[in-house]
Amino acid sequence: MTWKHSLCAVLVMASATACASPKIGYDYDRSANFTAYHTYDWVAGRQEETGDKRVDNSQVDIRLRIAIDSQLKMKGYVHPVNGQPDFYVAYHVGLNDLTPDISTQYYSDGMAGKAFRYSADTRSAGQKDPPPIQADTFLTGSLLIDIFDAASNKLVWRGTAAGEIDPGLTSKERDQRARTIIHDIISHFPPK
């Protein structure tokens, strides 16, 4: 979806976590009556796939849904017993492998996770190709949580988190990191 890619880096996967604290943000429809929201449900259908197997899997889906459900329930929202909920929830996740910009030319070595740079600063007199300087890539991600008004089907609130990801975390660490990030996002819902 194009709106998903409109964030600077569509990306904080809550199943893998950031080395530093992610940047948290939110936006909302000022005309929405958030005080009328008491019940919620998930947007129907399967979770939208990104094409990235690191996030398109049941472990990530379950981890995020449990963390989001937990935060909404702690705020007093419940699933409707009968009938339509007041709002629907959806999430979107993305990842991006980035190589830092060092203001030089990059030449990929064809291997995942590394790139080489050739800088004019490293050229010796008479040397055609200077020795490569290795530049590590890093993983960034974003997590978007959307709230849709059930009656109008309009997006009324969106929370975001974006930052660097540490892919070396254990499953328990990923669970904890997801809970922390989602708590930080949902703390802004409803807007005050």
- Residue 141's pLDDT is what? 87
User: Is residue 98's pLDDT more than 80?
Assistant: no
Question: Which domain does 108 fall in, by range?
Answer: 100-136
Same domain flag for 121 and 132: yes
Task: Give whichever of 40-49, 137-146, 182-191 has the largest mean pLDDT.
Answer: 182-191
- Residue 139's pLDDT is what? 77
Q: How many CA atoms lie within 13 A of 139 on its CB side?
A: 19
Same domain flag for 91 and 171: yes
Per-residue pLDDT tens digits for 34-49: 999 999 999 998 777 8
CB contact at 8 A, 167 and 147: no
Same domain flag for 85 and 147: yes
- Angle in degrees, 0-180, between the axes of helices 58-74 and 171-186, rounded to the nearest 10: 40
Examine residue 192 and state whether it is found in any structural domain, yes or no: no
Same domain flag for 178 and 149: yes
In whole angstroms, how far apart are CA 168 and each of 51, 109, 143, 164? Answer: 21, 23, 19, 12
Same domain flag for 117 and 66: no
pLDDT range class, residue 85, cuts 50, 70, 90: very high
User: Is residue 181's pLDDT more than 90?
Assistant: yes
User: Is residue 89's pLDDT more than 90?
Assistant: yes
User: Is residue 116's pLDDT more than 50?
Assistant: no
User: What's the mean pLDDT in 21-25?
Assistant: 93
Same domain flag for 92 and 155: yes
pLDDT range class, residue 112, cuts 50, 70, 90: very low
Query: How many distinct structural domains can be found in the chain?
Result: 2
Mean pLDDT over all residues of the chain?
78
User: What's the mean pLDDT in 54-67?
Assistant: 90
Examine residue 1 and state whether it is found in any structural domain, yes or no: no
Examine residue 191 and state whether it is found in any structural domain, yes or no: no
Same domain flag for 175 and 117: no
In whole angstroms, how far apart are CA 159 and each of 80, 81, 91, 144, 155? Answer: 23, 26, 9, 6, 11
Give the CATH number of the domain where residue 177 resides.
3.30.160.670
Same domain flag for 76 and 88: yes
Same domain flag for 111 and 94: no
User: Is residue 134's pLDDT more than 80?
Assistant: no
Q: Measuring CA to CA, which residue among 174, 148, 169 is closest to residue 85?
A: 148
Per-residue pLDDT tens digits for 63-84: 999 999 999 999 999 999 988 9
